[in-house]
Each structure stands twice: as structure tokens, then as C-alpha cells.
Structure 1
Amino acid sequence: MTKCVLITGGAGGIGLGCALYFADKGWSVFIADINGEAGRDAAQKIGGADFALTDVASEESVKACVEKCVLRFGRIDALINNAGIADPFTEPLEKLSLERWSRIISVNLTGAFLMTKHCAAHLRRANGGIINMASTRAFQSEKNSESYAASKGGLLSFTHASAVSLGPDVRVNCICPGWINVSGYQTSERDHSQHPAGRVGKAEDIASLAYYLVSDEAKFITGQSFTADGGMTVKMVYVD
């Protein structure tokens, strides 16, 4: 039977890149996204995919999404927790509202928990895998990004904790992307030269890693976090 991947935030960016990549490998793809128009367009673009309008911060919405996926494809072999509020910047820490902090944490971190909770039984039956999409901002920061950094750092800890709880039936790993150009931004030579790999990242760079980590070739890998940033976080930067 064809394997199925459920991708949150799959209507655009890295999520869409993963959806296209897995579909090209012959997997059934189920997209969960809060953007209905983009989600339906993405599912139609892929062909054979399906979509559910989903707010990952709502347990009721998550439960309905998982039920629809299983009804449509009969199984879940992989879950990619990619949905998140992508803008890392908020107002200064002293002015950051609890509402804004809580919303970012609830989508970026609690969303992964809820999806994992409701997919767990299906993933156990499939001996499947989970990918949590964190960020290099789990390790380094700019000003006024506390809530985003905390949510992504939390995903690292959630990854190794859930890997222990769900193992050996389900493997759980985390990817920390760096600068991945999914917005159509016109990159410059300076942008590329910041990376030891010689270029800014593409969605396929993350999708191929996610695919490997849930494949049978990676059966001995669980509870780990992988940085995919073209080497940017290991390059020393000096201010002249």
C-alpha cells in the first residue's frame, strides 16, 4: 500500500517543498494548513493529494484533520510538523504582550504536540516517523525574537522526549533550517557568500533530508536534531 505523509503548513514554503518532494517519490500527501485557498491550490497542483483547513493550535481542528487524513488514505506513515508563525520578530521584550507570546508558542510548539498526540496511534501501526521543523534560531538569535526562539528551542526538547516515549515504534527527529529562500526574494552574491556551501538554501534541501529521515535507510536515527543551513552557523563573523 502507498505510504502517506501528513504535512502541516504544507500549502507554501518548506511545507509545500516537502509535499512536492514526497509526491514525486510516490507517497500520498495530505496537507494541513490554515490558509484554505493556498491549501486547496497546493493539493490540486500535486494531484492525488488532499487538504484539510487546520489550525494546529486547536485540538478540535487537529483531531478532525487527522481523522480526515486516515479516512482518505487509510494510514499515516509520516508526520511533518512544519506549521508555524514564520516571522521571528516581535516588539521589544519589555513590551511583548502575553497574548503575542502565547500565540507564537501555541502554533509553533503546541501545534507539534497536538499533531503528534493525535497521529501517534496511526504512526505506531505503520512504524512511521515524525519530523519537527525547528530553526537555527533555536541556537542563535537577533533582538526581539524571544517567543520565536523559545518555540523553536522547545521543538528540540520535544523531539528527544517524544522519541523516547514513542520508540521503538515511531522515530522522531528534528530539522533546523537556516536561510531557505522560499519567498522569491532576489538573492545577491553577498547573500550566497555568507554560506560555506556557497549558496542560500532551497526548499528541496530540507525536503530531501526529511524524506531520508523517515525512510527505512534511517531506521537507526531517532531523537536527533539536524542543522541544514549551508554551514552558516559554523562560520565566524567579525565586525570591522
Structure 2
Amino acid sequence: MTRSSASSDPRRVIVVTGAASGIGRGTMLHFAALGWRVVGLDLDGEGLAELAAMLPRSDALTVLCDVGRESQVRRAFARIAAWTDGIDCLVNNAGIADPYCGPLDKLALADWQRWIDASLTAAFLCSREALGLLRARDGASIVHVASTRALQSEPESFAYAAAKGGLCSLTHAMAVSLGPELRVNAVLPGWIETGPWQSGDRRREPAQSEQDKAQHPVGRVGEVRDIAETIAWLADAGFVTGQQIVVDGGMTRKMIYAQ
């Protein structure tokens, strides 16, 4: 949905990248249920159409966009500016879900760049384009969705770890530079079950073993709502900025030994 002039609706507005599935989709639906107006960006047109059908048409906007490409991001935010006169929260969630890139000596520069662009470059581009709309609202903030792989690694996840680690550094750099007008924080999800939140034929039911659950001190694998609720808290946490909030059920605090 587009409008000829920006809406002056006083309700809060959130923009989520990577919105078509997984954490992004869950965050969109969570905030819509809280009464926010929601905007979702993604390059998955089918997933966006499916998401749009779940949301009130007058209170939601979905935009097809590769957020790692400057020209597409500019067009997307021009469309958002025509739909709303301000943004209260920008969630930079987009990224390549698969962290594994293979052996370092076989990793092509173009493949490395795909991981970096999908998360880190995308967060820079979207944050830059959103600044005017964010500054139009009191108490607005940015949330980068990073990963616990910014803090610890599995083999052959070089590009993914570098992209997510870059998001964490970008978080404190932006918080210092953009405050006090804007707050900037990062959420670092651990193992989050996104199967039920995928689009189309990629949707699947969780199949976790007791051993999977036991790796987490809280006794379960994470759910998409755990991340959405953390983002919602950060949107209102007026004295929190420049922080990395780990949401992993304690998994990164538990020593796990080989059997």
C-alpha cells in the first residue's frame, strides 16, 4: 500500500528488514499485535505477500528490496517516507541465515562480500536512509540483530561471524555518534527456532531433541517471540544505548564437553 502523502497517524512505526520470514516475520506480527504500524523490507516477494495477508492493510507496508544495494534502499525509504512522517524503531535484521561458507582457502571474495553486504552493509545503508524519519520522532531507536557468533564461532563461519561482529561494533559507534537524539542497540540471538516462521514450503515444525534443549540452562531452544520481546523492550528502554543484549537461554555461558 502506498499513499500520496505521508501519514500523520500518531501511532508508533517500526521498520524491519528481512521481514518475510524468521525473526523478521515474527517481529512484524508481534509489533502489529502491540498496536504499532509496521513496515517490512525483504527481497523475497512471495514471503512478503504472505506476510502482508496476515497484517491489517491500513497499518502495514511491505516493500520488495535488496537491502544490501544502495539504489534499492534509497527507493524503499522514499516509499516509506510517502507512507509515514516518522519512524520510531528501525530493526536491521536482514542477513544470510546459513553461517557456513566452507574452508577459508576456498572462500571466494564475491561470496565473502555477500555475507558482509546482507548484514553489515545493509545495516549501514538502511540506518543512513532512515535518519531523517527517525529524528522526526522523540525517543526513536535502532536495533541491529547480530548473533552470538559475534562472540564465539563454529568452524568455517568466517564471513557470517565477521558480519555479525561488525554489527556489534557499528552499534556502539552509532550510539556514541547519534545520541542523544537516537539510541542504538544490538540483540545477539542464540539458537532460535525459526521453522514455523518461514514462508511457503520452507515452513516446518520444530524437531528438537532433549539434548538440544539441555544445552540451554533455561531448558529449551529459543523462540522467535524471545527476540521480538527483547526488541520491544529496547524500543522503550530510554536509558539503554550502545549495548549488546545476548538472548540465548544461557547457552554461551554453559561449558559443553565432547561425549
**Alignment TM-score, normalising by the size of structure 1:** 0.97
Once the two structures are superposed, what CA deviation does each residue of 1:84-106 show, in whole Å capped at 9, x if it has no partner?
Answer: 01100012001100010011101
Structure 1 residues 46-102: Cα deviation after superposition (integer angstroms, max 9, x where no partner): 223111001011111111111212212332111000000110001200110001001
Counterpart residue type for residue 64 of structure 2 = L
Provide the residue aligned with 1:232 in structure 2. 251
Q: Partner amino acid for 2:194?
A: V
1:142 to 151, 154, 159: 154
SS at match of 1:121: helix
Could you tell me whether the CA contact under 8 Å between 1:28 and 1:73 is conserved in 2?
Answer: no
Identity %: 46
Give the paired residue count. 238
In the alignment, which of 3, 9, 18 is matched to residue 12 of structure 2? 3
Q: CA deviation at 1:239?
A: 2.0
| Amino acid paired to 1:239 | A
**Structure 1 residue matching 2:53: 3-state secondary structure:** helix
- Partner of residue 53, structure 2: 44
CA distance in 2, matches of 1:126, 1:136: 31
Aligned equivalents of 1:117, 1:172: Cα separation in 2:
13
For residues 111-131 of structure 1, give each alpha carbon's deviation from its aligned partner in whole angstroms, at most 9, with x where no partner exists.
Answer: 000000000121112131110
Task: State which of 193, 198, 202 in structure 1 corresponds to 2:214.
Answer: 193
Amino acid at match of 1:39: L
Q: In the TM superposition, what is the alpha-carbon distance from 1:238 to its structure 2 partner?
A: 1.6
Q: Structure 2 stretches of 5 or more lacking a match?
A: 1-9, 196-204
Q: Does 1:84 align with 2:84?
A: no
Confirm or deny that 1:205 pairs with 2:205. Answer: no
Question: When the two structures are superposed, what TM-score results if normalisation uses the length of structure 2?
Answer: 0.90
C-alpha distance in 1, partners of 2:25/2:243? 23
State which of 150, 154, 168 in structure 1 corresponds to 2:166.
154
Match of 1:178 in 2: 190
- Taking only aligned residues, the RMSD between alpha carbons, in angstroms, comes to 0.9
On the 8 A contact 1:70/1:76 being kept in 2, the answer is no
Runs ≥4 in structure 1, deviation > 2 angstroms? none
Structure 1: runs of 5+ lacking an equivalent: none
